[in-house]
C-alpha cells in the first residue's frame, strides 16, 4: 500500500513537472516572438535585397567575376532606361494634356471669372 501511494505520488509529480515545463516553454516562445516583431515593409525590402544578391552571385558565377556581372547588370539597366524614357515622357505629356483639358473646360477653376 505504501509503495503504491509512493508510485502514484511520483507519477503525479512527474505529470505536474511536465505541465510546468511545457507552460514555461510556451511562455518563453511567446516572449521570444514578441521581442522579434518585424515590420512587414522592412522585411519585404530585405527579401528583395536578398533576391538581388542571389541573382548577382549567379551572374558572377556565370561570368567568372563580379566585374563581369556588374557589366551585365549595367548593360541591362541601360537598355531598360533607354526603353522606359520615351514611355515615361509620353505618359507625362498625356497627363499634362489631360489636366489642361480638364481645367480649360471648367470655368470655376479658372482665375478671374
DSSP letter for each residue of 39-82: -HHHHHHHHHHHHHHHHHHHHHHHHSSHHHHHHHHHHHHHHHHH
Give me the pLDDT at residue 1, please: 46
Give me the pLDDT at residue 4, please: 60
Instruction: Please state the rounded mean pLDDT for residues 52-76.
Output: 85
Query: Max CA-CA distance within the chain?
Result: 107
Instruction: Please state the rounded mean pLDDT for residues 101-109.
Output: 68
pTM exceeds cut of 0.85: no
Instruction: Please state the rounded mean pLDDT for residues 37-52.
Output: 90
Amino acid at each position: 500500500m505504501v509503495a503504491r501511494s509512493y508510485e502514484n505520488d511520483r507519477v503525479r509529480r512527474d505529470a505536474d513537472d511536465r505541465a510546468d515545463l511545457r507552460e514555461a516553454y510556451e511562455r518563453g516562445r511567446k516572449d521570444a516572438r514578441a521581442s522579434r516583431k518585424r515590420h512587414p515593409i522592412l522585411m519585404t525590402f530585405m527579401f528583395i535585397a536578398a533576391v538581388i544578391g542571389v541573382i548577382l552571385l549567379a551572374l558572377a558565377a556565370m561570368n567568372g567575376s563580379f566585374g563581369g556581372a556588374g557589366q551585365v547588370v549595367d548593360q541591362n539597366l541601360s537598355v531598360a532606361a533607354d526603353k522606359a524614357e520615351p514611355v515615361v515622357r509620353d505618359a507625362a505629356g498625356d497627363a499634362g494634356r489631360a489636366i489642361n483639358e480638364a481645367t480649360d473646360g471648367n470655368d470655376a477653376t479658372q482665375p478671374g471669372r
